Amino acid sequence: MSDTAEKVKKIVVEHLGVEEAKVTDTASFIDDLGADSLDTVELVMAFEEAFGVEIPDDAAEKITTVKDAIDYIEAQKAA
Protein backbone atom coordinates (compact mmCIF):
# COMPACT_ATOMS: atom_id res chain seq x y z
CA MET A 1 0.00 0.00 0.00
CA SER A 2 1.34 3.45 -0.89
CA ASP A 3 1.93 6.07 1.78
CA THR A 4 -0.97 8.05 0.42
CA ALA A 5 -3.33 5.09 0.58
CA GLU A 6 -2.30 4.31 4.12
CA LYS A 7 -2.80 7.89 5.25
CA VAL A 8 -6.16 8.21 3.47
CA LYS A 9 -7.43 5.05 5.12
CA LYS A 10 -6.26 6.21 8.52
CA ILE A 11 -8.17 9.47 8.10
CA VAL A 12 -11.31 7.63 7.02
CA VAL A 13 -11.11 5.33 10.05
CA GLU A 14 -10.71 8.28 12.42
CA HIS A 15 -13.39 10.50 10.92
CA LEU A 16 -16.08 7.94 10.25
CA GLY A 17 -15.40 5.79 13.32
CA VAL A 18 -15.32 2.59 11.25
CA GLU A 19 -13.18 -0.54 11.50
CA GLU A 20 -9.99 -0.53 9.47
CA ALA A 21 -10.92 -3.77 7.72
CA LYS A 22 -14.00 -2.15 6.18
CA VAL A 23 -11.99 0.61 4.57
CA THR A 24 -11.16 -1.21 1.32
CA ASP A 25 -10.20 0.54 -1.91
CA THR A 26 -13.65 0.12 -3.37
CA ALA A 27 -15.59 1.08 -0.25
CA SER A 28 -18.06 3.90 -0.82
CA PHE A 29 -18.12 6.50 1.97
CA ILE A 30 -21.90 6.76 1.92
CA ASP A 31 -23.03 3.28 0.86
CA ASP A 32 -20.48 1.16 2.73
CA LEU A 33 -19.05 3.29 5.55
CA GLY A 34 -22.18 4.98 6.94
CA ALA A 35 -21.24 8.55 6.05
CA ASP A 36 -23.80 11.22 5.22
CA SER A 37 -23.28 14.19 2.91
CA LEU A 38 -21.88 16.39 5.69
CA ASP A 39 -19.46 13.64 6.74
CA THR A 40 -18.07 13.52 3.19
CA VAL A 41 -17.59 17.30 3.14
CA GLU A 42 -15.62 17.06 6.37
CA LEU A 43 -13.64 14.08 5.09
CA VAL A 44 -12.52 15.99 2.01
CA MET A 45 -11.46 18.89 4.25
CA ALA A 46 -9.42 16.48 6.31
CA PHE A 47 -7.68 15.23 3.13
CA GLU A 48 -6.91 18.81 2.12
CA GLU A 49 -5.41 19.54 5.51
CA ALA A 50 -3.41 16.31 5.73
CA PHE A 51 -1.97 16.39 2.20
CA GLY A 52 -1.70 20.13 1.70
CA VAL A 53 -3.79 19.99 -1.48
CA GLU A 54 -6.83 21.92 -2.56
CA ILE A 55 -9.85 19.93 -3.65
CA PRO A 56 -12.43 22.13 -5.42
CA ASP A 57 -16.11 21.38 -4.83
CA ASP A 58 -16.70 19.93 -8.29
CA ALA A 59 -13.80 17.50 -7.82
CA ALA A 60 -14.90 16.70 -4.26
CA GLU A 61 -18.33 15.64 -5.51
CA LYS A 62 -16.69 12.93 -7.62
CA ILE A 63 -14.74 11.48 -4.70
CA THR A 64 -17.16 8.87 -3.45
CA THR A 65 -14.87 5.91 -2.68
CA VAL A 66 -11.58 5.40 -0.90
CA LYS A 67 -9.87 4.75 -4.22
CA ASP A 68 -11.28 7.99 -5.70
CA ALA A 69 -9.63 9.90 -2.87
CA ILE A 70 -6.27 8.14 -3.20
CA ASP A 71 -6.19 8.61 -6.99
CA TYR A 72 -7.11 12.28 -6.81
CA ILE A 73 -4.50 13.07 -4.16
CA GLU A 74 -1.74 11.15 -5.93
CA ALA A 75 -2.53 12.93 -9.18
CA GLN A 76 -2.35 16.30 -7.41
CA LYS A 77 0.95 15.44 -5.80
CA ALA A 78 2.43 14.28 -9.11
CA ALA A 79 1.35 17.47 -10.86
Main-chain phi, psi angles of 24, to 5 degrees:
-85, 170
41 binds other proteins (CB under 8 A): yes
- Answer yes or no: 36 catalytic: yes
- Pair 11, 51: CB distance under 8 Å: no
16 binds other proteins (CB under 8 A): yes
Contact segment (CB under 8 A) with other proteins among 3-11, 12-20, 21-29, 68-76 equals 12-20
Instruction: Report how far residue 69's alpha carbon sits from residue 40's, in angstroms, rounded to the nearest whole number.
Output: 11
Angle 45-11-76 (CA atoms, 0-180°, nearest 5)?
A: 55
Could you say which of 36, 58, 68, 71 is catalytic?
36
Q: What is the DSSP letter of 37?
A: H
Identity of the residue, 3 or 36, whose beta carbon is nearer to other proteins in the bound complex:
36
31 binds other proteins (CB under 8 A): no
Query: Residue numbers of the site for other proteins (CB under 8 A)?
Result: 15-17, 38, 41-42, 45, 49
